[in-house]
Amino acid sequence: MDRQILNLFISRYRGGLVLVAVASVLLNVLVFAGSAYMMLVYDSVLPSRSVPTLIGLFVMLVLVYAFQAVFEAIRSEALLGVANGVHDDLFGAVHYATVTRPLRNGPDKGDGLQFTRDLDSIHTFLAGQGPIALIDLPWVIMFLIVLASLHWWLGLTALFGVFVMAALAIISNRRTMSGSRELSNITSGRSAAALAEIRFAESALAMGMQDRLVARTSGWEDSFIGAQSYLSRTVARLGGASRMFRMLLQSLILSVGALLVIDGKASGGVILASSVLSGRALAPVDQAIANWRGLVAARAGWSRVVQAVSAYRKPPAREVQLSRPSGELAIRDLWVAPPGTQRFTVSGVTLQLTPGQVLAIVGPSAAGKTSLVRAILGIWRPNRGEIRLDGATLDQWDAETLGSYFGYVPQVVDLMDGTIGQNIARFDPAATSEGIVAAAKAAGVHELILSMPDGYESHVSAGGVELSAGQRQRLGLARALYGDPFLLVLDEANSNLDAAGDAALAHAVLDMRKRGGIVIMITHRPATLGPATHIALMQAGRIADFGERDAVLARIQQANTATRIEPGNGSDAKDDEAGTAAASGVSA
């Protein structure tokens, strides 16, 4: 897959790469102009003392350098175009992999942004001097041939220098590979720890935990400094050694040239020309070593990006689009485990709901209620069983299209940075004012929004910290109702609501019921059971009871009464039934 994607990009940007190659050929050919100028000056101009010849040669040299500047700009611009194109082509797939990975494999140990950093390292390398050094490396052979043509001792001395520089490059590769990998892992963990501290900042300050948390995460900082120092020290030492050896080699070639002149086997111009050519021959090797860290990071990043894009590939758009759902929701033998685990939190659930029905899911904590609705919404993939809407499995719709038919209010409502209107409209660029206001009115939050300084244009930051938990929950309900969804899922959507909020929520559920939608709500409060037509009691991931609301409530109350009066029941059984009654929101 790695080679396939690489070949795809090579074919897509063949024009830019050809332009880079042609510019590199011309640049490396023009490099000989400086050496030729020195030889002509020393061997022709000085002996003849011809000023016009010197001026003519100098004018030609200026023109050559001007062309070099133009070709250098063309090559850099072409490489930048390739780098930007690769970034743009990969960004969507990388972003999709970044947000999809935790939904399939569970929370990342780091900050979850490794793929994004990998893409940045690829772009930085392609837009920098690293590719130029690699492109120029084959020209080392040409410079060695030219040096050998001046005299074989010059070529042999330069070849020795190339071998030494190559050895330094190999050592640099070995030492920076493992160091870069370790630094990448540490950076990810360090960022995750910092983000966790930021999220916990209020509680930490209130409970006097800040210093302890700083001490707890300081280990990441020490590891980061250690890994960064190791890499910087390695690159600096090897880069310094490379530069020093390059200077020494130029002096050595100059000395060899002087010996040849003394021996009458070369002219005076050869001394300077060979020194310049040797420096130019070793420059790509020296530059490659200087950019080796970026090359290693880009190569490792490319490998991870290719794996991510292959593993978390976005499904192609379907040619045949199903119509808006309007029929039953059927769940058959559903088994669900949280991403990244093998522990089932939903076991063998079978349900069927028809339009106009409102299902209240009750049960003790950790009974699998939230896991069930996450599978119904397509957030988590079922391990076994199937979920069908209008007779079709959920994957027969495009995810974005299906999501527009769903409304979801999670336990904790998160708002995105933007206006209240944008958040309600789910950041739909085609949203209309009528649709936004209608959703707000359906959630009973229209008057609340109007009371804010800028109304629907009021800005909220990420997380909506300017608002109370109840206000965020009501705005979350408005967002869920935007676009008149067919399926509305409420996961303890009333946990922070006051009496007015409860009334608005009940009204919204009744409206959904009247227009033929399906509502699934998880609740621990009896006040929200009024609009429900059916109740499902979950225990240990299974449906312990399911049916019409009044019948299930009667059975739960009867079971609770029998538990209290039945003699000989152990305390564990009583505690379990009492917990079930409390979780279902039904008093004995």
The CATH number for 32's domain is 1.20.1560.10
Collapsing DSSP to helix, strand or coil, 542 comes out as strand
**Which DSSP letter does residue 412 get?**
S
Residue 339, domain CATH? 3.40.50.300
303 with 360, same domain: the answer is: no
The alpha carbon of residue 153 and the mean position of all alpha carbons in its chain are separated, in whole angstroms, by 54
Alpha-carbon distance 352 to 535, whole Å? Answer: 12
339 with 442, same domain: the answer is: yes
Paired sense of beta strands 329-336 and 518-522, if any: unpaired
Number of domains forming the structure of the chain: 2
In a domain, 185, yes or no: yes
In a domain, 570, yes or no: no
In a domain, 571, yes or no: no
In a domain, 317, yes or no: no
Determine the pLDDT at residue 405. 93
Determine the pLDDT at residue 18. 85
The alpha carbon of residue 311 and the mean position of all alpha carbons in its chain are separated, in whole angstroms, by 14
398 with 535, same domain: the answer is: yes
Residue 437 · residue 446 · CB < 8 Å: yes
CB atoms < 10 A from the CB of 262, how many? 9
374 with 518, same domain: the answer is: yes
In a domain, 461, yes or no: yes
CB atoms < 10 A from the CB of 5, how many? 17
Alpha-carbon distance 281 to 47, whole Å? Answer: 29
Closest CA to 497 of 482, 509, 515: 509
Alpha-helical (H) ranges within 263-367 are 268-290, 292-311
Residue-wise burial string across 214-229, b where 16 or more C-beta atoms lie within 10 A, e elsewhere? eeebeebeebbeebee
- Alpha carbon of 112 to those of 166, 185, 309, 439: distances in Å? 37, 11, 15, 33
Determine the pLDDT at residue 421. 93
Residue 458 · residue 452 · CB < 8 Å: yes
299 with 404, same domain: the answer is: no
Paired sense of beta strands 418-419 and 518-522, if any: unpaired
Alpha-carbon distance 107 to 99, whole Å? Answer: 11
Amino acid letter, 311: A
> 128: which 2 tokens?
């920098």
103 with 245, same domain: the answer is: yes
Show which of 279, 312, 345 is a domain's final residue.
312
The alpha carbon of residue 29 and the mean position of all alpha carbons in its chain are separated, in whole angstroms, by 42
Alpha-carbon distance 267 to 282, whole Å? Answer: 23
Residue 169 · residue 288 · CB < 8 Å: yes
350 with 267, same domain: the answer is: no
Show which of 283, 312, 341 is a domain's final residue.
312
> 208: which 2 tokens?
């006097």
260 with 147, same domain: the answer is: yes
**Angle at alpha carbon of residue 492, lines to 486 and 493, rounded to 5°:** 60
The strands making up 329-336's β-sheet, listed across from edge to edge, are 346-353, 329-336, 384-389, 392-393
47 with 151, same domain: the answer is: yes
CB atoms < 10 A from the CB of 195, how many? 14
Tell me the chain's radius of gyration from C-alpha atoms.
Answer: 35
> 274: which 2 tokens?
């060979």
Determine the pLDDT at residue 269. 67
In a domain, 190, yes or no: yes
- Alpha carbon of 329 to those of 3, 237, 393: distances in Å? 44, 66, 10
pLDDT tens series, the chain, 588 aa? 556 667 677 777 777 888 888 888 888 778 777 777 777 777 777 788 888 888 888 888 889 888 888 888 888 888 888 888 888 888 888 888 888 887 887 777 666 778 888 888 888 888 888 888 888 877 777 777 877 777 788 778 878 887 887 787 777 767 777 777 777 778 777 777 777 777 777 677 777 777 777 777 777 777 888 877 877 777 777 777 777 777 787 778 778 877 877 887 776 667 767 777 777 777 777 777 777 777 878 888 888 888 888 888 888 878 888 888 988 999 999 999 998 888 999 999 999 999 999 999 998 888 999 999 999 999 899 999 999 999 999 989 888 889 999 999 998 888 888 999 999 999 998 899 999 999 999 998 999 999 988 999 999 888 777 888 888 999 999 999 999 999 999 998 887 787 888 888 888 999 999 999 999 999 877 767 888 999 999 999 999 999 998 898 888 888 877 766 555 444 443 344 434 444 444 433
339 with 304, same domain: the answer is: no
Alpha-carbon distance 154 to 324, whole Å? Answer: 79
| The total number of residues written for the chain in this structure | 588
Residue 375 · residue 335 · CB < 8 Å: no
> 547: which 2 tokens?
């049916």
485 with 541, same domain: the answer is: yes
Look up the domain containing 396 and give its range. 329-562
In a domain, 579, yes or no: no
In a domain, 300, yes or no: yes
Collapsing DSSP to helix, strand or coil, 329 comes out as strand
Determine the pLDDT at residue 468. 86
CB atoms < 10 A from the CB of 424, how many? 29
Determine the pLDDT at residue 112. 74
70 with 124, same domain: the answer is: yes
Residue 132 · residue 95 · CB < 8 Å: no
